Structure 1
Amino acid sequence: MSFLWKSSNGGTTEKTLTLEEQQEKQINEVRKQLEEPSSLAIQGFLSDASILRFLRARNWNVQKSSKMLKSAVKWRAAYKPEMISWEEIALEAETGKIYRADYKDKLGRTVLVLRPGLENTTSGKEQIKYLVYSLEKAIMNLTDDQEKMVWMIDFQGWTMGSTPLKVTRETVSVLQDCYPERLGLAILYNPPRLFESFYKIVKPFLDHETSKKVKFVYSNDKESQKIMAEVFDMDKLDSAFGGRNLATFEYSSYAEQMKEDDKKMQSNDAGSDASSEASFYSGTDSPKHEDGEHGAMKKACAT
């Protein structure tokens, strides 16, 4: 990328910026359009790495990226996702419908397992809250060299009633608008034929980049099964997804793990750019988390 610069003799010279300089320039342009952070949580969220993700999500358009980021900041300030605790969503987690796997993919990305067929509640508001909680904890557990995660969606037991369209649309909105560039890959494992019709309804809500990350995988299709071997160590992958790991979700041990994650998030034990959405606090700096602050999101992070 080239820019014209005024020289000391009044003329202009052309300077070619390096990729790093280009990105720094655009980050600064976005920052100029943002208000001062209203809390430590928002300050932690507005890292350079976070702004870069919003820029990538809007194809490096500063105006569109700024608008998107402002909406995300407004949502985080009201929803306070980093303050959701295990006790608030423990009921949602009982069946293992969403959990963080105890293994990563070959690139070191955190893996979130989703089993919509195990839906155990009817409140869309609480279901979205648990999704947000799971996203925050997945981000917190990313390694320093990774900023994206993998979603593994197991369709065993799924019916059209398992995922109401309204909740599905909110899920897409939260992921794309509030956590842009966090999804590296979404594997839809053994979706029934009925889901193909459902996906045709949902797909228009996905942006182009997100839809490219969606892969359909079937256990009886050798070609699609190759995707699993390419992405995962089969010795670590759940047997439910064709791997050789026989371990299954165990609620009580997972609850203890999540409570420990809550403590880490509160104690400011980690704070890398890779986990910038997961803000950390200590002592009296931690804002109080009230249930009433988690209002229903008709269109989360609307742009």
Structure 2
Amino acid sequence: MGVVSEEEAIDELQKLINQVEGPLKKTFERVHQGYLRENLSRFLKARDWNVTKAHTMLLDCLHWRVDSEIDSILSKPIVPSELYRDVRDSQLIGMSGYTREGLPVFAIGVGLSTFDKASVHYYVQSHIQINEYRDRVLLPSMSKKNGRPITTCVKVLDMTGLKLSALSQIKLVTIISTIDDLNYPEKTNTYYVVNAPYIFSACWKVVKPLLHERTTKKVHVLSGSGKDELLKIMDYTSLPHFCRRGSSGSSHHTQSVDCFSVDHPFHQQLYSYVKHHCETQGQGEPAKQGSFHVGFPEPGADGVQIAKTIESEMHKSENCNGLGKPVDDRTVSP
């Protein structure tokens, strides 16, 4: 059999996926939001354009969505509001704006997230809700606004405060990353790492060879807060707050808004959206549902190896004198 082009691979996968019916077909419509071929290509990229493997991956994703009732997760608010605030205070993620190309900019506080104020189920629920809101609301809206498919985002990872205690959360982080790898593949265009201390440099050097080249090409470790580099792809107003340090922006930009805060417009809009959909489905005021339980996938062998490697390297670096110092971008390969 000759080499199949990317377009031919998409055609083949589309023929296979057209055979699904019932709940699987309905949930796939939620996934592609009218941008069928762009979303089929995501699964093909994740499986190196092997149609058979991509088909299996996509079917597994659709079954997971149906079994875990993912289609209804945007009508399942985390309540009471105090609990949602606790989740936001300890799972630092937010959206600060858009790139000039229209891609959402998600900020993640890797180093200062503690994941210690709620059960693992609430953190997984919150993460999936943000994924689904991005895919069902933000990306379709930006696609219409820009007149072209926008199906990915960029992520800015703040490593401020990264230290050995982060190992206590490595299992939860592995669960979340596995959910993303299996069910939301190729949704991130680029990862920008900022405020990276020595311990990140040490871990990155040993973890990088374990990752697929497709992934490592997306990771860019920036010097310091990364402000200068990020301003090449986004306006100042879209910079995450932790990238604005030392800035002399114009007067109406000097107020730095914490995009991790539950009071940030993104989180307020997301929570209002979820609560509204809960109420319009006739459920009235949402009751505390004991969290929305989602089936956790077993991390693959690669994920387990990476987690063990990070743990080992962080232990080695525990007594390093430069543990808390930001790393110069020249010491880490982008």
TM-score, normalising length: structure 1 = 0.72
Q: Determine the C-alpha separation between the residues in 2 that align with 1:292 and 1:262.
A: 13
Instruction: Report the alpha carbon displacement of residue 141 of structure 1 after superposing the two structures with TM.
Output: 0.5
Verify: 1:240 aligned to 2:254, yes or no. Answer: no
Instruction: Report the alpha carbon displacement of residue 28 of structure 1 after superposing the two structures with TM.
Output: 3.0
Which one of the candidate residues 151, 154, 158 is aligned to 2:158?
154
SS at match of 2:155: strand
Pairing 1:1-303 to 2, within 5 Å after superposition: 22=8, 25-31=11-17, 35-38=20-23, 40-45=26-31, 48=36, 49-84=38-73, 85-87=76-78, 90=84, 91-95=86-90, 97-101=92-96, 103-116=97-110, 117-121=112-116, 123-139=119-135, 140-142=137-139, 143-144=142-143, 145-162=149-166, 164-200=169-205, 202-203=207-208, 206-219=211-224, 226-242=228-244, 244=249, 245=253, 246-249=256-259, 250-254=261-265, 255-262=267-274, 291=291, 293-299=293-299
More displaced 10-residue stretch of structure 1: 22-31 or 211-220 = 22-31
The one-letter code sitting in structure 1 at the alignment partner of 2:193 is L
Instruction: Report the alpha carbon displacement of residue 170 of structure 1 after superposing the two structures with TM.
Output: 2.4
Q: Determine the C-alpha separation between the residues in 1 that align with 2:91 and 2:133.
A: 15
Listed one character per residue, the Cα deviations across residues 136-166 of structure 1 (whole Å, up to 9, x for unaligned) are 2222312113100111111222223235332
The one-letter code sitting in structure 1 at the alignment partner of 2:105 is V
Kindly indicate whether the alpha-carbon contact (under 8 Å) linking 1:118 and 1:157 is maintained by their aligned counterparts in 2. Answer: no
Instruction: Report the alpha carbon displacement of residue 69 of structure 1 after superposing the two structures with TM.
Output: 0.8
Kindly indicate whether the alpha-carbon contact (under 8 Å) linking 1:172 and 1:206 is maintained by their aligned counterparts in 2. Answer: no
Q: Determine the C-alpha separation between the residues in 2 that align with 1:18 and 1:264.
A: 44
Q: Determine the C-alpha separation between the residues in 1 that align with 2:133 and 2:46.
A: 22
Q: Determine the C-alpha separation between the residues in 2 that align with 1:203 and 1:168.
A: 17
Kindly indicate whether the alpha-carbon contact (under 8 Å) linking 1:30 and 1:65 is maintained by their aligned counterparts in 2. Answer: no
- Identity across matched positions, percent: 18
SS at match of 1:150: strand
Q: Determine the C-alpha separation between the residues in 1 that align with 2:50 and 2:5.
A: 18
Residue 55 to residue 238, structure 1, CA distance change in 2 (3 Å): closer
Q: Determine the C-alpha separation between the residues in 1 that align with 2:77 and 2:278.
A: 12
Instruction: Report the alpha carbon displacement of residue 66 of structure 1 after superposing the two structures with TM.
Output: 0.5
The one-letter code sitting in structure 1 at the alignment partner of 2:273 is D
Residue 19 to residue 153, structure 1, CA distance change in 2 (3 Å): closer
Residue 205 to residue 86, structure 1, CA distance change in 2 (3 Å): farther
Residue 178 to residue 118, structure 1, CA distance change in 2 (3 Å): same
Residue 81 to residue 119, structure 1, CA distance change in 2 (3 Å): farther
Kindly indicate whether the alpha-carbon contact (under 8 Å) linking 1:96 and 1:251 is maintained by their aligned counterparts in 2. Answer: no
Instruction: Report the alpha carbon displacement of residue 259 of structure 1 after superposing the two structures with TM.
Output: 2.4
SS at match of 1:147: coil
Root-mean-square deviation (CA), in Å? 3.6
Residue 174 to residue 19, structure 1, CA distance change in 2 (3 Å): closer
Listed one character per residue, the Cα deviations across residues 237-280 of structure 1 (whole Å, up to 9, x for unaligned) are 2342136442223423544311233268779xxxxxxxxxxxxx
Q: Determine the C-alpha separation between the residues in 1 that align with 2:190 and 2:60.
A: 25
Instruction: Report the alpha carbon displacement of residue 132 of structure 1 after superposing the two structures with TM.
Output: 1.7
TM-score, normalising length: structure 2 = 0.66
SS at match of 1:111: strand
Listed one character per residue, the Cα deviations across residues 158-202 of structure 1 (whole Å, up to 9, x for unaligned) are 223235332332233222221112110111111211123333565
Instruction: Report the alpha carbon displacement of residue 292 of structure 1 after superposing the two structures with TM.
Output: 6.0
Q: May I ask how many residue pairs the two structures share in their alignment?
A: 265
SS at match of 2:231: helix
